[in-house]
Amino acid sequence: MTQEVCEIYCHDEQKVSRVSAALQNVDTPEIARMFKALSDETRMKIIYALCREDELCVCDVAHIIGSTVATASHHLRLLKQMGLAKYRKEGKMVFYSIDDDHVRQLIDIALAHMKERFPHE
């Protein structure tokens, strides 16, 4: 049986120092929160939908994910708070869209990765 750990303990001090120093400048809690927001299947469906259309109203999103408007609105609000989505109001309608192209790139990269790993699904 193959062990997936080192059989001896040693480390490369230069690599450890470089990465440790770089890590001091990264807001890992915020990045983790962003991925946590995306780890919810409903929110992922919403982000995917927003990546495929320039914008969708809350009612459209509710219909796409098969939920109430209140549930869709709750998820959209969380995505907005995380900086993944933005909204605009037009009269009594509220339209959501992807906050910026980086979000779309994250989703596109994730989809490409899944197609490579599981090509027949």
| 25-36 pLDDT tens trace | 999 999 999 999
DSSP 45-79: HHHHHHHHSS-EEHHHHHHHHT--HHHHHHHHHHH
With tokens 């037009």, the residue in question is: 90
Tell me the mean pLDDT in the region 39-68.
97
Q: What is the mean pLDDT of residues 46-71?
A: 97
Task: Quote the pLDDT of residue 1.
Answer: 54
pLDDT greater than 90 at residue 95 = yes
Domain coordinates in residue numbering, the chain: 42-121
Is residue 120 very low, low, confident or very high in pLDDT (cuts 50, 70, 90)? confident
Return the CATH number of the domain spanning residue range 42-121: 1.10.10.10
Whether pLDDT at 121 is above 70: no
Q: What 3-state class would DSSP assign to 115?
A: helix
Q: Are 55 and 95 in contact (CB under 8 A)?
A: yes
